[in-house]
Amino acid sequence: MKILVCLKQVPDPEANIEIDSTRGWICESDGIAYRMNLYDEYALEEAVLIRESLGDASVDVISVGSERAAAVLKKGIEKGATNGIHIILDRDRYRSPGLIARLIADYARDRGYDLILAGVMAEDDMQCQVGPLIASYLGLPCAVSVVREKIGDNRSEIDVDCELEGGVNETLILPLPCLLTIQSGINRPRYPSLSNVLRAKEQALTMLSAGTVLSGQVETVVSICYPESAVKGTIIKGTPEQKAEKLLDILHEKSLL
């Protein structure tokens, strides 16, 4: 069985991110840390667990991005992936989900993957579109927000539970090949083993150019800005009795009492 896992490199949410208004995206800065998208970690772990249960599966990881994104693929190999494929873009800027999905689908189309896994969303844009769009481009059945999966004994179908709103799960049986987007909590991502860390340092990635497909971008960023500052609260000082009186005056003034 051949499994492909889609990985994305995202800015660390704890980093001090600055906006570049001239090109409508975040500034490239040495102070910004990048890491693997959290939801993709669960997808990768699920692929490795499937390989361990079947015994004869291969797990490829693929990422679309600038040269910096190669670090995510190396991390994927450290966590157990077999091979890494990097589709290189010229520089960082907004890339629509449709464009990313098309690049990955074009690579995967004729390579005989039985299962494609992706995180349910990316932490930076939270659009939840790349996985379903890949399935659409490839004409594959798709299940989203998967919290459990089990491949059938004949390896021709997969049984999945999908998370719905209100704490309800939906059970589906899909034929293989298919695509799943993986929800967090389905497993516990492992730490890289020393042997895989050493292997990742030596193993070369498959490097591909995005080529002319970039002309297919159908979305553009109109603007990007920081969220508006929230209204600051009022601190009431004084004794408890004075605070209570001032609070009552404020509530009466705003017609809340």
Domain boundaries in the chain? 2-216
Name the amino acid, one letter, at 219: E
pLDDT at res. 14: 79
CATH topology of domain 2-216: Rossmann fold (3.40.50)
pLDDT at res. 29: 66
Long-range contacts of 23-32 (CB under 8 A, 24+ apart): 23/93, 24/93, 24/94, 24/221, 24/222, 24/223, 24/224, 25/92, 25/93, 25/94, 25/221, 25/224, 26/92, 26/224, 28/92
| pLDDT tens-digit profile, the chain (257 residues) | 999 999 999 988 777 778 877 767 777 766 678 899 999 999 999 999 999 999 889 999 999 988 889 999 999 999 999 999 999 987 667 788 988 999 999 999 999 999 999 999 999 888 999 999 999 999 999 999 999 999 998 999 999 999 998 889 999 999 999 999 999 999 999 999 999 999 999 999 999 988 655 555 667 778 787 777 777 778 888 899 999 999 898 888 888 77
pLDDT at res. 216: 54
pLDDT at res. 225: 78
pLDDT at res. 15: 76
